[in-house]
Amino acid sequence: MSGRPLDVLEASLNEPVTVHLKDGDAYYGVLAGYDQHMNVVLEEALDDEAVPGDIELRQVEDTTIIRGDNVVTIKA
């Protein structure tokens, strides 16, 4: 795997991720999809225990689409 952003996202499909946004919010869910603009689709994560406890997160409860313009980081 190379370190290109889209390759990293491809490797993280169907895995829990944390998405940090420009406004300081962070969302936790399973990466269900993405596109070349870094728009991401998150689904509800089934494992609540995997939510990191050091930051305040909004856990996705339904299918959520986040526009790539707002994304600062995506952490697997």
- DSSP per residue, 4-58: -HHHHHHHHTTSEEEEEETTS-EEEEEEEEE-TT--EEEE--S-GGGS-SSS--E
Residue span of the structural domain in which 67 resides:
5-75
Quote the number of domains for the chain. 1
What pTM did the predictor assign?
Answer: 0.83
The per-residue pLDDT for range 42-76, each reduced to its tens digit, is: 999 876 555 556 667 788 889 999 999 999 999 98
CATH of the domain at 25: 2.30.30.100
Contact 76, 40 (CB under 8 A): no
